[in-house]
Each structure stands twice: as structure tokens, then as C-alpha cells.
Amino acid sequence: MKPASNSPLPGLSRVEGNYPWFAVQVRTRREASAAEHLAGKGYEWFLPLYKSRKPWSDRIKEFETPLFPGYLFCRFNPQDRLPILKTPGVIQVVGYNRVPVPVDEQEIAAIQTLVASGIPNQPWPFLSVGDKVRIESGPLRGLEGILTDFKGNHRLVLSVSLLQRSVAVEIDSAFVTSLTPSRASRAQRAAFRPAPAGI
């Protein structure tokens, strides 16, 4: 399979004409071919992949699978999106009321950093609650996401809000710092809040 991005360095984005990233919905299992067609038209694209293991006859085989099945990301001028829509395999540009909505640049950058790191990751149910943390060391240093606990292991969940999709990567909780107070500490502070004067 082709690389996950046609940027000059894996996982690093090159801004062309300062156009934002958009999510492009494509037919399932046509993500890679749609990306190749977009590359042929000169567009910058990003198709994040992860390694999945599936039973294959008498053994387990490893496949590269899209992190967001049915979607890829592309930079383009939203006023000139007809060439995108005419690309084989493309269904539509994600947006509201037929108006394309850009994907948050930081969310794309976080997913690109994760893919470039080579650290095992996987799709994850979309999260919008939980403690937000920042990784302080290692190849993912500086990334921010939601810290969750799964089967005794800590995972950092990165999300693409527009698609309501997330991806999880296993991390050592010793390498993260909290950006939001935990629910317990918030409750503790509320319990010890001084009463207003005069009561």
C-alpha cells in the first residue's frame, strides 16, 4: 500500500496555498485508490493507516487498514471542489448543509504525528469527556488528548471532532500531565469551598 500521505516527510504536512484540510467521504475499501487519484491531480492528501491483525486461512495476517474507514483528508480550495467530487471513489466532502467544513488543523497534526511515530494505535469510540492530558516525553511529546483506562492500560485518545471519530494509542501515564483537573479534585475543591460571608 502507498504511504499514508504525499507530504515531503511522513506525517508532516506541507501547506499549499494555505488551504485547510477537509474530510472527504469515499467508498469503503476505495480509500487508497481515491488518494492515488487525488495525488495524480496534484492535491495534498492524508490517509492515516494502522496495522490490524486478522485470521487468514491457517495463520494471522497483518494488514494496513484506514484509521477512519470511508474517509481521507485533503487540502483544497472549497470554492473549487468539483475536481474532488469527480474523483473516482469520492462520495462527498464532509460539511453541513452542503457547505464543506474544515477539519481542525491541530487534530490533523496530532493524527499525523501519531502515524509518523510508528507506535501501535487503533480506532476508538469518539470521546468528548474525560481528563485532557499532554504527553511530556517520547515521540508523541506535545500531543494533547483524552486519557482513558482500558483493561488496566492507559490510552491517549485523539479525536477528529468533525467526523465524530477517534483513535487510541497506548501510553505510559508517567509521561503525561493533566491539562484539566480530575473529577475527584473538582469535587474535593467544591466540598472545601469556603461559605460566602454572612451565612
Residues 6 or more apart whose Cβ sits within 8 Å of residue 166 = 123, 124, 125, 126, 127, 157, 158, 159, 160
pLDDT tens digits for range 88-98: 999 999 999 98
Instruction: Please give the Cα distance from 116 to 97 (Å, whole number).
Output: 34
Instruction: Please give the Cα distance from 181 to 172 (Å, whole number).
Output: 19
Residue ranges of the chain with per-residue pLDDT less than 70: 1-17, 128-129, 181-199
- What was the pLDDT predicted at 20? 96
Q: Assess contact for 166 and 158: CB atoms under 8 A.
A: yes
Where do runs of H (alpha helix) occur along the chain? 31-40, 82-85, 105-117, 183-191
Structural domains of the chain ordered from first start: 21-178 (3.30.70.940)
pLDDT tens digits for range 10-24: 333 344 457 999 999
Q: Which three cell numbers stand for residue 108?
A: 490533523
- What was the pLDDT predicted at 153? 81
Q: Which three cell numbers stand for residue 5?
A: 500521505
Q: What is the pTM of this model?
A: 0.75
pLDDT tens digits for range 39-62: 999 999 999 999 888 777 788 888
